[in-house]
Chains A and B, each alone.
Chain A
């Protein structure tokens, strides 16, 4: 399953790595847009399999930023 950016901005901080188990609502990464920091949260419980972006990288709204397997 893809986790998508909900906003156009840049990746400020990545909070998880491949293999990490997350619960629904856990912060996967923090995006920055127009001087505001906004968390990207896991939408369900599962395991992160891949991070698709790097810190400092620009992202577009709807762009997949990480992959996870649903528990």
Chain B
């Protein structure tokens, strides 16, 4: 095991990693921006190095400063957390060149999964279902023939687009030509390319992901699925493990696990990773992408399996074999994570930086709070609005929901505006309790359309 590890992150995940390191007797080095000098993650670590001014590109993404901090403190490894440098293959290569272990998969695996076209082709070659479609740029004639083959509605996307820009849902053949033109125009003006591709449009989808863990020797396991359908602006808000929808459909469940493991093997994955899928209302699953890092919502998996994912990341990075076996893993109960954000759900989830004077995290059976803030503290506009994660486990889903409701009622963050009351509304809603929702449900709830 390592003697000293640098944590290249901030907020709750930096705090959590520091806590795991301390429990294992490994010394920790925090990095921080000038705006975070008094942040909890700085005090939790054994040492701390300032890596630059508040804006992320100048501090938490400042590779030179972070590598220099690792060398100056003698850290043997860097844990990137999630976001920031965690999926940056170039940074992983620079760590290797400097003789520092990057705690994550190989730069080749990060690169392969970071390129959407390569990831899709790799998945298809490994026998993993992908959304039926062109998989690459096509002509108008090819688009018409393909759409006929896979059936309407279809989705036309600007190949260079992103974040929903340059996307059109086409419901019937008569409308295809016009949508193709609109997408080509939009792509050309916004992204400098008029290339478009076409795929089946999945209506009322669910977002389901499978946790995988592989060691250096190619031994890997899956740790079941997480239900991440409740999102706003394509960002997750409430996650669960397991997914009641998946568990009620054994074919879907087994297919998801087999797909995730097949893909992990195909790319020679190492460490903790997540394979994301879209699932249609009929229970067919399609590969979306691989997150080659720890996920924000990993604690729900830890809650139902008893496996410490960060602990395994450290062990695997240090070269230890994965001693977990698939047969020994089982789902125990149910867990729900609520992300507590500094934002106003009534105003399109507008972020609300501000001051925390009171921060009372709930406690109780099955309740875990991973927080990156404390009272008093300043929540600055420079970083992500997530303040903390409330993770609650129960013997089954109804018990987890009941305990989450109680915990949300006891959670006090003042005077900052947060989504705590909105999260309680979600827990109390009949649709949520019955598991009836899709990826658009949360935004409809916030707009009072349910």
Q: Which residues of A contact B (CB under 8 A)?
A: 6-10, 32-36, 38, 58
The secondary-structure label for the interface of chain B is loop
Number of A-B contacts (CB under 8 A): 35
Please name all residues of chain B whose beta carbon is closer than 8 Å to the beta carbon of A6 when the two chains form the complex. 350
Beyond A9-B381, A34-B342, A36-B351: 8 further Cβ-contacts under 8 Å?
Answer: A7-B352, A8-B352, A8-B381, A10-B55, A10-B381, A33-B353, A34-B343, A35-B385
Chain B 171-213 per-residue mask, 1 if CB under 8 angstroms from chain A, else 0:
0000000000000000000000000000000000000000000
Please name all residues of chain B whose beta carbon is closer than 8 Å to the beta carbon of A7 when the two chains form the complex. 350-352, 381
Chain B 149-189 per-residue mask, 1 if CB under 8 angstroms from chain A, else 0:
00000000000000000000000000000000000000000
- Residue of A at shortest CB range from B348? A38
CA distance A24 to B75 in the complex (A): 55
Are A35 and B383 interface neighbours, CB within 8 A?
Answer: yes
13 contacts between A and B (CB under 8 A): A7-B350, A7-B351, A8-B381, A9-B351, A10-B55, A10-B382, A32-B381, A33-B351, A34-B381, A34-B383, A36-B233, A38-B350, A58-B381
CA distance A9 to B55 in the complex (A): 11
Are B353 and A8 interface neighbours, CB within 8 A?
Answer: yes
Chain B 340-378 per-residue mask, 1 if CB under 8 angstroms from chain A, else 0:
001100000011111000000000000000000000000
Q: Is B384 an interface residue (CB 8 A)?
A: yes
Q: Which residues of B contact A (CB under 8 A)?
A: 55, 233, 342-343, 350-354, 381-385
Please name all residues of chain A whose beta carbon is closer than 8 Å to the beta carbon of B385 when the two chains form the complex. 34-35
Q: Which of A7, A8, A34, A36 has the most CB of B within 10 A?
A: A34
Please name all residues of chain B whose beta carbon is closer than 8 Å to the beta carbon of A9 when the two chains form the complex. 351, 353, 381
CA distance A8 to B352 in the complex (A): 7
Q: Which of A8, A36, A58 is the one whose CB lies under 8 Å from B354?
A: A8
CA distance A32 to B383 in the complex (A): 10
CA distance A38 to B349 in the complex (A): 12
Minimum CB–CB distance from B232 to chain A (whole Å) comes to 11
Please name all residues of chain B whose beta carbon is closer than 8 Å to the beta carbon of A36 when the two chains form the complex. 233, 351
CA distance A10 to B55 in the complex (A): 10
Please name all residues of chain B whose beta carbon is closer than 8 Å to the beta carbon of A32 when the two chains form the complex. 381
Minimum CB–CB distance from B422 to chain A (whole Å) comes to 17
- Residue of B at shortest CB range from A10? B381
Minimum CB–CB distance from B12 to chain A (whole Å) comes to 15
Minimum CB–CB distance from B190 to chain A (whole Å) comes to 15
- Residue of B at shortest CB range from A38? B350
Top 10 A-B pairs ranked by shortest CB distance? A34-B351, A34-B385, A33-B381, A9-B381, A8-B353, A33-B351, A8-B381, A35-B384, A36-B351, A34-B381
Please name all residues of chain B whose beta carbon is closer than 8 Å to the beta carbon of A38 when the two chains form the complex. 350
CA distance A5 to B105 in the complex (A): 43
CA distance A62 to B397 in the complex (A): 44
CA distance A7 to B354 in the complex (A): 10
Please name all residues of chain A whose beta carbon is closer than 8 Å to the beta carbon of B353 when the two chains form the complex. 8-9, 33-34
CA distance A10 to B353 in the complex (A): 12
CA distance A33 to B382 in the complex (A): 6
- Residue of B at shortest CB range from A8? B353
CA distance A5 to B352 in the complex (A): 13
Minimum CB–CB distance from B344 to chain A (whole Å) comes to 10
- Residue of B at shortest CB range from A56? B55
Please name all residues of chain A whose beta carbon is closer than 8 Å to the beta carbon of B384 when the two chains form the complex. 34-35
Please name all residues of chain A whose beta carbon is closer than 8 Å to the beta carbon of B351 when the two chains form the complex. 7, 9, 33-34, 36
